[in-house]
């Protein structure tokens, strides 16, 4: 079977039902665009949360003790088995961090006395289950001024991105099913339009795959075009919109390599939707005949 024959027949099918075909492509596009965006937003959430915390979920502010006392506390916390690592941040580092954080507000930086910056111990847990217990224990140590749980903000961010992600995937799947139905309908219409030809093909002994392949290719093309449009729209939508959003602590940057790899997955989804759709359409037809 020549490739040009198959592609030519598929192209004829596509031309014959332009509106239906556009509908099918649109359905694939919307569904895969949702899915693609959900993947990107999820990555943005995960990324920013990860970068902000770098694993650290608890900060214990220390009173104005000396370095030796601070080191003692840090070492003690480090020895707890719930603690993956305890990082000491001295006054000088805290000052640098403060300056960086409020770089766009020099007046504020001017106001603050570097000496007033508290030192802290930043704690990464081995297991977040022990969170509450560790917070309580840190609070009971002499020399600890107060305990801040960085996790609240992080959890919120993660939660939001999870919701967006789940919602996006659920919607994407639901729309994906409708896309499959749309594709199977266009294939069915194409089969109907060519029923005379098909009956003669079967009469003179064309093999089943010879009859089916052009319709399979038609569905594949619809799925792939819809998928490609979704990836393009998602990519530029991200670059022009999401990556330019200023969400404060949330870092909205994701690397091109991520966009590309997920784009390819989305494209593969499109191909699968196309193949499944046309197989569903063909299945019905094959049951009707013979």
Partner 1 sequence: MIRLQGVSKVYDGSTVAIRDATAGIQKGEFIFLVGPSGSGKSTLIRLLMREEKPTDGEIWVAGRNIAELPDWKVPYLRRSVGTVFQDFKLLPNKTVFQNVAFALEVIGRPRGMVVQQVPKVLKLVGLASKAERLPRQLSGGEQQRVSIARAFVNRPLILLADEPTGNLDPATSVGIMRLLDRINRTGTTVVMATHDHAIVDAMRRRVIQLERGRIVRDEPRGVYEGPSPATAATDLDGPAFVESNGQQGAEPVVEPVEDAVVAPGDADEG
CB of residue 178 vs partner 1: minimum separation in angstroms?
A: 32
Under DSSP, the state recorded for 247 is B
Q: How many residues bind partner 1 (CB under 8 A)?
A: 17
Candidate list 87, 206, 233, 272; residue touching partner 1; CB under 8 A: 206
Q: Is the dihedral of CA 166, 169, 175, 180 positive or negative?
A: negative
> Under the criterion CB under 8 A, does residue 1 sit at the interface with partner 1?
yes
In the block, which residue shows the tokens 């490739």?
3
- The residue among 127 and 197 lying less far from partner 1, judged by its C-beta, is 197
Site for partner 1 in 164-193 (CB under 8 A): none
Angle at 146 between CA 145 and CA 149, to 5 degrees: 155
Candidate list 126, 128, 207, 261; residue touching partner 1; CB under 8 A: 207
Strand partners, 149: 58
Both structure tokens of 114? 């570097």
**Residue 193: which residues within 8 A CB-CB, separation 6 or more?**
13, 16, 17
- The residue among 9 and 43 lying less far from partner 1, judged by its C-beta, is 9
Task: Determine the Cα–Cα distance for residues 185 and 221; give it in Å rounded to an integer.
Answer: 14
Candidate list 199, 236, 239, 245; residue touching partner 1; CB under 8 A: 199
Candidate list 4, 111, 196, 246; residue touching partner 1; CB under 8 A: 196
Query: What is the DSSP track for 86-110?
Result: EEEE-HHHHHHHHHHHTTT-HHHHH
Which is nearest to 190 in space by CA: 166, 222, 161, 159?
222
**Which range touches partner 1 (CB under 8 A), out of 133-141, 196-204, 222-230, 260-268?**
196-204
Task: Determine the Cα–Cα distance for residues 212 and 214; give it in Å rounded to an integer.
Answer: 6
> Under the criterion CB under 8 A, does residue 195 sit at the interface with partner 1?
no
**Which range touches partner 1 (CB under 8 A), out of 93-101, 208-216, 239-247, 269-277?**
208-216
CB of residue 220 vs partner 1: minimum separation in angstroms?
A: 21
Task: Determine the Cα–Cα distance for residues 290 and 288; give it in Å rounded to an integer.
Answer: 6
Q: How many angstroms separate the Cα of 245 from the Cα of each of 51, 204, 263?
A: 17, 63, 21
CB of residue 19 vs partner 1: minimum separation in angstroms?
A: 22
Candidate list 210, 232, 251, 265; residue touching partner 1; CB under 8 A: 210
> Under the criterion CB under 8 A, does residue 205 sit at the interface with partner 1?
yes
**Which range touches partner 1 (CB under 8 A), out of 68-76, 77-85, 114-122, 194-202?**
194-202
Please report, as ranges, the residues that interact with partner 1 according to CB under 8 A. 1, 5, 196-197, 199-208, 210-211, 290
């Amino acid at each position: 079977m020549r490739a040009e024959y198959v592609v030519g027949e598929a192209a004829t099918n596509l031309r014959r039902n332009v509106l239906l075909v556009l509908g099918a492509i649109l359905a694939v596009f919307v569904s895969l665009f949702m899915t693609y965006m959900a993947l990107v937003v999820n990555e943005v959430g995960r990324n920013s949360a990860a970068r902000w915390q770098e694993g650290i979920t608890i900060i214990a502010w220390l009173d104005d003790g000396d370095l030796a006392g601070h080191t003692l506390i840090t070492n003690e916390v480090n020895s707890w088995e719930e603690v993956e690592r305890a990082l000491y941040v001295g006054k000088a580092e805290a000052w640098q961090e403060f300056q960086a954080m409020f770089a766009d507000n020099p007046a504020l930086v001017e106001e603050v006395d570097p000496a007033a910056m508290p030192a802290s111990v930043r704690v990464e847990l081995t297991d977040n289950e022990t969170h509450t217990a560790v917070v309580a224990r840190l609070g009971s140590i002499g020399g600890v001024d107060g305990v801040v749980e960085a996790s609240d903000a992080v959890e919120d961010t993660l939660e939001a991105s999870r919701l967006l992600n789940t919602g996006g995937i659920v919607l994407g799947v639901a729309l994906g099913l409708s896309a499959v139905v749309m594709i199977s309908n266009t294939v069915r219409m194409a089969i109907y339009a060519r029923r005379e030809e098909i009956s003669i093909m079967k009469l003179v002994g064309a093999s089943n795959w010879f009859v089916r392949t052009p319709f399979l290719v038609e569905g594949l093309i619809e799925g792939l075009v819809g998928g490609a449009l979704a990836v393009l729209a998602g990519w530029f939508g991200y670059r022009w919109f999401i990556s330019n959003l200023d969400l404060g602590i949330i870092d909205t940057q994701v690397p091109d390599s991520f966009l590309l790899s997920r784009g390819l997955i989305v494209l593969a989804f499109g191909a699968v939707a196309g193949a499944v759709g046309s197989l569903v359409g063909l299945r019905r037809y094959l049951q009707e005949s013979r």
